[in-house]
Amino acid sequence: MRNHWLMGATALALSLSLVAGCGSKSTTSTGTTTTGGAAQKGGVLKVAIVGEPPTIDMHTTTATLAFEVGWHIFETLYTYTADYGIQPMLAETLPEVKADGKIYVIKLRQGVPFHNGKVMTSDDVVASINRWNKLAQNAKGAMAGLKAVTAPDKNTVQFEFDKPNGTLLAALATPGNGLAIYPKEICDKYPDKPIQEFIGTGPYKLIEHVPDRYYKLQRFDQYASRSEEPNGPGGKKLAVADEIQFIPVPDTNTRLSGLESGEYDVAALLSGSQYQSVKNDSSLQAIVVKPISHLNVSFNMKQGPFTNKLVRQAALAIMDPEPIMSAAFGDKDLYRIDPSLMQKEQGVWWTDAGKENYNQHNVAKAKQLLQQAGYKGEKIRYLATKEYDYNYKAALVYADQMKAAGFNVELVVSDWATLVNNRAKPDAWDMFGTGISVKNNPLLLASMGDKWFGWWSNPQRDQLAQQIAGELVDAQAAKPWAELQKLYYEDVPSVKIGDYFGTRAARKNVKNVPTMGEYYFWNTYVEKK
């Protein structure tokens, strides 16, 4: 009886996670620019991406590029829809939850072939889960307290935890550093290094990879598609194009000129000014993709002035998000001022708890807090990088705002690799900015963990996190989450500045271009004249 209630509640929660207005004018509710249409099978779709992924082994890296190419080849047990509801992919249905959330039983779809012809079974899934649990950062929180993963039969897997687990489903549906299902032999052959043989169950198979030139994917004719209507990355995958080429083009000008000349069909991530010029070009379509990330500035709580909560509160009090976001992203279409750490598109998770401490821009309060804290103008090293233009511009403006309150801020500008290296050393920095990517569950947000750079340690945070993790239904977990966000705005481990969106451009004749943050081109095609 309890199980049925849980299943019903889960379904209700999923149906409640409604989109609050997704994408630009051309966006549909299914996460693409257009839907359906007379999709004509065939052709080559050329997509200019921002760089070469470090690998497409989704278990081993958190790099977004890895799964954006990878999930055309590999699939996960669950995925999400355009409104961030969770939908089965390789699983047959949503899991059966037993023992108050300590046991999850997942039925697998039957007869799903890998690209090598072998049919997927629970042995492959268990091997993939074990490898993912060992290697993936994304698995760490969700798999905490795992007692065993077993395969009761060849089409069923079971997770058993020592306490109720409310984050498992969200983690299983997250593609970034996600649980891609590989054949058992591949998991055994590459237990701790990135895989070199790319065999999945996805709608496309990898036929050639020439580093820095392309990933060439070809339609997998035996692909076993789901039958539900396409919805975001979920539902039916049509594999319309015969071939998809992901071409690394690190220079944004080259991406745009390649698109204008017809060299590429779709180009990722343009600058604000390029977005404007694409909007004015009748042969192209400018697409705002959302949600992507929020801009965040973390404070070092191990060492230096920000170990004092009052100093952190002063940095929050002075923060005026509008000029920072405007300098960093330009066009108003490309950012949003909002206090919630979870995005507006994420339904029940969105909350304005703690909003009274967001967007204050209160110089007097900041000065007073600094005085109370006994801050004597100690130097504050703000790490920034010009490698990501927005990062540097945001740092310039925020540093200026802080100086107005009496902070002695010094920008330490380096390339990204150096910044990453320095942020791991508590004696090398006081604050740094980065984007925190959207996650299905707030506990998966990088900045909420105690391992994140800044090392936020707070027993109340741990308690609330435990409550969230113990809730099996998002709508119920949303309550402790709102409390946790309120605590975040009081304790200020970092400052959320604003949400930012991505841009994508495509030639006018490209249909069903994804409008969500991630790429999924299995239903995208070039309309024939």
Q: Decide the pairing of beta strands 266-268 and 78-80.
A: unpaired
| Distance of closest approach, residue 91 Cβ to another protein, in angstroms | 25
Three-state SS at 269: coil
Task: Identify whether the C-beta of residue 348 lies closer than 8 Å to the C-beta of residue 442.
Answer: no
Three-state SS at 499: strand
| Distance of closest approach, residue 437 Cβ to another protein, in angstroms | 7
Q: Classify 354 in phi/psi space as left (phi over 0), alpha (psi -120 to 50) or beta.
A: left
CB nearer to another protein: give 140 or 479. Answer: 140
CB nearer to another protein: give 140 or 154. Answer: 140
CB nearer to another protein: give 79 or 177. Answer: 177
Q: What distance separates the 2 farthest-apart alpha carbons in the chain?
A: 70
- String of DSSP letters for 318-364: H--HHHHHHHHH-SGGGEE----SS-GGGGGG---TTGGGSS---HH
Task: Identify whether the C-beta of residue 407 lies closer than 8 Å to the C-beta of residue 315.
Answer: yes
Dihedral of CA atoms 134, 136, 141, 144 in degrees, nearest 10, equals -10
d(C-alpha 69, C-alpha 168), whole Å: 24
| Distance of closest approach, residue 57 Cβ to another protein, in angstroms | 9
CB nearer to another protein: give 30 or 437. Answer: 437
| Distance of closest approach, residue 485 Cβ to another protein, in angstroms | 19
CB nearer to another protein: give 209 or 309. Answer: 209
CB nearer to another protein: give 5 or 416. Answer: 416
Tokens at 510, concatenated? 């490209």
Q: Decide the pairing of beta strands 431-437 and 379-385.
A: parallel
By CB under 8 A, name the binding residues for another protein: 51-52, 54-55, 60-64, 66, 137, 140, 177, 192-194, 196, 210-213, 247, 249-251, 253-254, 257-258, 260-263, 387, 414-418, 420-422, 424, 434-435, 437, 446, 449, 451-453
Residue type, 492: V
d(C-alpha 204, C-alpha 216), whole Å: 10
| Distance of closest approach, residue 210 Cβ to another protein, in angstroms | 7
Q: Which of 491, 494, 489, 524 is nearest to 510 (CA)?
A: 524
Three-state SS at 426: helix
Write the CB contacts of 299 (distance below 8 Å, at least 6 apart in sequence).
Answer: 306, 312, 315, 430, 431, 454, 492, 493, 494, 495
| Distance of closest approach, residue 63 Cβ to another protein, in angstroms | 4
User: Cα separations (Å) of 79 from 70, 75, 439, 504, 520?
Assistant: 14, 9, 12, 22, 12
| Distance of closest approach, residue 258 Cβ to another protein, in angstroms | 4
| Distance of closest approach, residue 194 Cβ to another protein, in angstroms | 6
CB nearer to another protein: give 156 or 277. Answer: 277
CB nearer to another protein: give 70 or 347. Answer: 70
d(C-alpha 450, C-alpha 72), whole Å: 33
Tokens at 232, concatenated? 């975001």
> Angle at CA 196, nearest 5°, toward 193 and 200?
110
Q: Decide the pairing of beta strands 408-414 and 379-385.
A: parallel
| Distance of closest approach, residue 412 Cβ to another protein, in angstroms | 11
| Distance of closest approach, residue 234 Cβ to another protein, in angstroms | 23
| Distance of closest approach, residue 164 Cβ to another protein, in angstroms | 25
Q: How far is CA 36 from the centre of its chain?
A: 26
CB nearer to another protein: give 35 or 62. Answer: 62
| Distance of closest approach, residue 236 Cβ to another protein, in angstroms | 30
CB nearer to another protein: give 13 or 395. Answer: 395
CB nearer to another protein: give 61 or 122. Answer: 61
CB nearer to another protein: give 226 or 507. Answer: 507
